[in-house]
Structure 1
Amino acid sequence: MGNLGSRFQSSPPGLTCVCHKRKRNAYCDCCDSEQDDEDALLDIPRRKKLKSTSKYIYQTLFLNGENSDIRICALGQAWNLHKVYLCQSGYFSSMFSGSWRESNMMVIELEIPDQNIDTEALQVVFGSLYRDDVLIKPSRVVSILAAACMLQLDGLIQQCGETMKENISVKTVCGYYASASIYGLDSVIKKCHEWLLNNLMTHQNVDLMKELGYMMEQLIRSSDLSVMQVEMDVYTALKKWMFLQLNPSWEGPIKQLLADADAWLCKRRTGPFLDTEDGAAFPSVFKHIRLQYIINDLASARILERDNILPADWLSSMYKNQWFAMLRTEFDNDNGPQDANKEDFEMSSMRCGRKLAKDGDYCWRWTGFNFGFDLLVTYTNRFIVFKRNTLSQPCGGAVSLQPRRHLAYRLRLASFDSNGKLVCSRSTGHQLLTLEKDQEYVVMNLDSRLLSFPLYVCCNFLYTSSQSDHRTDASTEPEGSTRSVC
């Protein structure tokens, strides 16, 4: 200890050994590295929260209006502002830099031609010029967007668009869609359209059906419409929608809506409803129903005849087309689509779906005459499997016994949160498939995927080829093909 103490006797005053808490000298072995660390620490900036400049500017200049050099008046309210901040707006920048008479005025009266703009929206928009960030309430976003568009504030317009996309729900989707169309927010229009395609049929809602006007035609014509069960359910949804458009004061639960719509139509059965004055606004929407997949089921065909909504020539021409399609399948060897004709698929494929309430084993088929193609769909052990069901059919006349049959398909899976927003989704995309008798094919393997239930399975199928591909020469029939005669 004596030697250690002697080493510190000559330490210069004022220098303290970090590890020994005493005066140190240049020869302290234990402190040589500590001195380097201490020097390094002096170069590291320390973060201390000061009063935000942005908050100070917002409070002092915007809210208090200190040193204001211009007064903006609109909708009965006035704001004491500053030209240097207003020039962030394309609207005011042009006004102040050009030969406009307002460029030298101290007080400017703003004309507000857009009824969506109110004083609260102008307060937010003017305030955004004085701060780094803006909080936009989803309930106020349309008014703020309108004001931002008028004043040409691109950054705020973009933020409004993001707010709208994040808050699409059954209560907001129609208003957001209409506003995005007015103010040119294509990404919001697309997002709202996707939400409606996913939710119109899977989560039917009375208020939403009342609000849907011209948008319904775009939804019904799309092959991406998530149909639950079969095309007949699209027709039923349109019938309820039409009733609500003509009876907007109707109130009641969704379960009562169809019965009341049928009773209302029953009183007006003097001829095809779409040919009447009341029905004149709806043919452009109903024409996008894929009737060929409704008249292939006896019960559904009878409902069409009973309702008497559609013009007679619509149905007669469709019955004729389907009859020839059946004959081609039976006698002309139409074994299904063999080319990737996506346009034909998008316009003519059968739309159907199924809701899986919880994980488990499921097997189902969609009813109707499907040109001899009895397709079973199975969900088990997180696999989705298609099977061409042939030999186990109780009635052979309903099933094609051709050695091979072709089909085009697209299968999509989706699950949603409480607002109808996609939680997870997956799609096979457009595919062509050839199946032999009773052959099974794994369409999707979900074993490694985290799934959320209920799970919606949405399918598109095309069993017959387009008419341009039909062969009329019976000699081209594949060798070994057989027909079943009942």
Structure 2
Amino acid sequence: MIMSNVHRAQLERRIAGSTNRWRFPKQPFSGDLLSLSQKCKALSIDFEEALRNPDRLCISQIQKLFCGNLKNKDIQSGEANVILECLGFKWELHQPQLFQSQTLAKLYLEALTQGSTSPLKELEKLLRAQSPKKTKERSPVKKMIISLKINDPLVTKVPFATALKSLYMSEVEIHLDDVLGVLASAHILQFNGLFQRCMDMMMAGLTPITIRKFYEAGCKYKEEQLTTACEKWLEMNLVPLLGTQVHLRRIPQDLLHKVLKSPRLFTFSEFRLLKTILFWVFLQLNHKIMTIPTHETMLTFFKSFPKNRCFLDRDIGQSLRPLFLSLRLHNITKGKDLEELQDLNFFPESWLNRVTANHYHALENGGDMAHLKDLNTQAVRFGLLFNQEYTTYSKMIAVYGFFFEIKGLKHDTASYSFYMQRIKHTDLESPSMVYKHKPVSLRAVRLVKYEIRARTLVDSKWQEFRTDEVLQKFELAKPSCKSRILKIQTVGSPIYATFAFIFPPS
């Protein structure tokens, strides 16, 4: 008895999912949502993606079959049966390998079913031909030529060849100089495993030279994990590393703005951060300068502008205002530094008048910072960069006549502690210098709201430690002169420790 084609089509059925639900396969999606959901789960496909693109089901079914057979096997021997025309070259590929790429799989299936009145029958035939249970009966598959047009300038011959090689080998060597091109190739090929490997390599390879290109790649491909990694790296390295290198000019303004607004930004002091941003502006305006300028050179450049208007009020400075509004100018308290800001003719007079007024108010009220409320966005910040070779490292700081020592201690190879303590002005090493250049407060008790943070990089991941926000009275006699201690365990180095505080009204 010979069955008609119509009758045979009605009897064809396929198991979809682990509950053995059946559905007719003649169309990618027949309207059976439960069946579709089960099939997506079995093939590890996103359900919403399958609704938008039903052809993805066919590709994934074949891809799962081929990729399963490729695991733990050497490169397939024999003659290539797919020719890829791309970038002006012809690349010979084997059919099973190209199904690791969604793009190549789609191009191949389109070529396979082109001109066919029954595309799904062709796909079924392909699956039967490649079934591992029918290895001996496997029929030869005709040689296909597929074409791919690429307009991305990042994709050149070498990185694209590396991407294609990765279809055959899971651990192809990728050089850091080529990783952007390989990432772009993986994106175009929709080769997810390779794309993620490039992402991991880029996040581990952030340097002053690579930060800009890697950040722009993260923005281009909307990869938040890469852009976030760039932001976190720059939060720690903007001042201590890039602040002394000409590579500072590579930092995009939008990335710089995000980092300046971050409460996690590390800086040795507020004035040191300001100097770094002034250097950045200088380098943007002086493209021929190939070394970081001296502080005096930078000051001379900005002072050379006419005195009738400050730099930020000029057309050239208008777009830079958001950067400097993100700085905490109110926490630059040294008289020498404030005089430099006045002479620079960089900031609007209203900004500097507000800073000066806040300082006068604080000094008249025993150091109270009535204008500061939020510790995350307004606190005075000082930082210690604690390196592996240190056993003890400390720095003296002075704000409104109060003197503190910020200190880090290394107890063993992986144990550290950080704290701050109030110091009598008479106990300083050079008290005469204090009387000459700084005010001295004789208040016995100083109320301080503070937080101590520490961050370090371990295996390309940031470890973060912090105390709670603490409100404490600092007196001059022990033990009330000492802050809460931040104790950490880490093998990372260096450790970026930040001491942030406010003197609330008391």
Q: By the TM > 0.5 criterion, same fold?
A: yes
Equivalent pair of 1:220/1:285 in contact (CA under 8 Å): yes
Which residue, out of 306, 324, 327, partners 1:286?
A: 324
Equivalences, count: 390
Cα separation, partners in 2 of 1:376 and 1:336, compared to 1, 3 Å: farther
CA distance in 2, matches of 1:397, 1:297: 10
* 1:401 aligned partner: 443
Quick one: higher RCO (CA 8 Å, sep 6+), 1 or 2?
1
Matched ranges for 1:6-405 at <5 A = 54-57=73-76, 60=77, 66-68=79-81, 70-97=82-109, 106-204=144-242, 205-214=244-253, 215-228=255-268, 230-252=269-291, 254=292, 256-270=293-307, 271-294=309-332, 296-324=333-361, 344-355=374-385, 358-369=389-400, 373-379=402-408, 382=411, 384-389=418-423, 392=426, 398-399=440-441, 401=443, 403=445, 405=447
Per-residue Cα deviation, 1:179-210 (whole angstroms, up to 9, x for no partner): 12212222222222221111111123433212
CA distance in 2, matches of 1:263, 1:432: 43
CA distance in 2, matches of 1:206, 1:245: 13
User: What percent identity do the matched residue pairs reach?
Assistant: 19
CA distance in 2, matches of 1:362, 1:304: 30
Per-residue Cα deviation, 1:156-182 (whole angstroms, up to 9, x for no partner): 111111111222222222221111221
CA distance in 2, matches of 1:425, 1:440: 29
Corresponding letter in the other structure for 1:401: R
Equivalent pair of 2:234/2:259 in contact (CA under 8 Å): yes
CA distance in 2, matches of 1:90, 1:98: 12
* 2:63 aligned partner: none
Cα separation, partners in 2 of 1:392 and 1:413, compared to 1, 3 Å: farther
Residue 451 of structure 1 and its aligned partner are, at CA, apart by 7.0
CA distance in 2, matches of 1:276, 1:397: 36
CA distance in 2, matches of 1:226, 1:147: 36
CA distance in 2, matches of 1:110, 1:220: 43
Cα separation, partners in 2 of 1:107 and 1:399, compared to 1, 3 Å: same
Corresponding letter in the other structure for 2:258: Q
| Aligned partner of residue 250 in structure 1, secondary structure | coil
Equivalent pair of 1:352/1:458 in contact (CA under 8 Å): yes
Equivalent pair of 2:450/2:499 in contact (CA under 8 Å): no
2:473 corresponds to 1:457 = no
Cα separation, partners in 2 of 1:391 and 1:175, compared to 1, 3 Å: closer
Larger radius of gyration: 1
Cα separation, partners in 2 of 1:423 and 1:89, compared to 1, 3 Å: closer
* 1:19 aligned partner: none
CA distance in 2, matches of 1:362, 1:135: 41
| Aligned partner of residue 374 in structure 1, secondary structure | strand
Cα separation, partners in 2 of 1:356 and 1:118, compared to 1, 3 Å: closer
Residue 232 of structure 1 and its aligned partner are, at CA, apart by 0.6
Q: Which ranges of structure 2 fall in alignment gaps of 5 or more residues?
A: 1-70, 117-142, 412-416
Equivalent pair of 1:273/1:309 in contact (CA under 8 Å): yes
Cα separation, partners in 2 of 1:245 and 1:166, compared to 1, 3 Å: same
Residue 53 of structure 1 and its aligned partner are, at CA, apart by 7.4
Equivalent pair of 1:240/1:261 in contact (CA under 8 Å): yes
Cα separation, partners in 2 of 1:326 and 1:377, compared to 1, 3 Å: same
Residue 247 of structure 1 and its aligned partner are, at CA, apart by 0.7
Equivalent pair of 1:54/1:132 in contact (CA under 8 Å): no
Bigger drift between 151-160 and 315-324 goes to: 315-324
Structure 2-normalised TM-score?
Answer: 0.67
CA distance in 2, matches of 1:321, 1:89: 62
Per-residue Cα deviation, 1:319-351 (whole angstroms, up to 9, x for no partner): 334444555667xx88999xxx8xx22111112
Equivalent pair of 2:448/2:501 in contact (CA under 8 Å): no
Per-residue Cα deviation, 1:410-449 (whole angstroms, up to 9, x for no partner): 23265x79xxx87996633342131242223354366x95
Equivalent pair of 1:89/1:153 in contact (CA under 8 Å): yes
Which residue, out of 481, 487, 496, partners 1:440?
A: 481
Residue 78 of structure 1 and its aligned partner are, at CA, apart by 0.9
Cα separation, partners in 2 of 1:102 and 1:234, compared to 1, 3 Å: farther
CA distance in 2, matches of 1:103, 1:249: 60
CA distance in 2, matches of 1:268, 1:103: 71
Corresponding letter in the other structure for 2:481: E
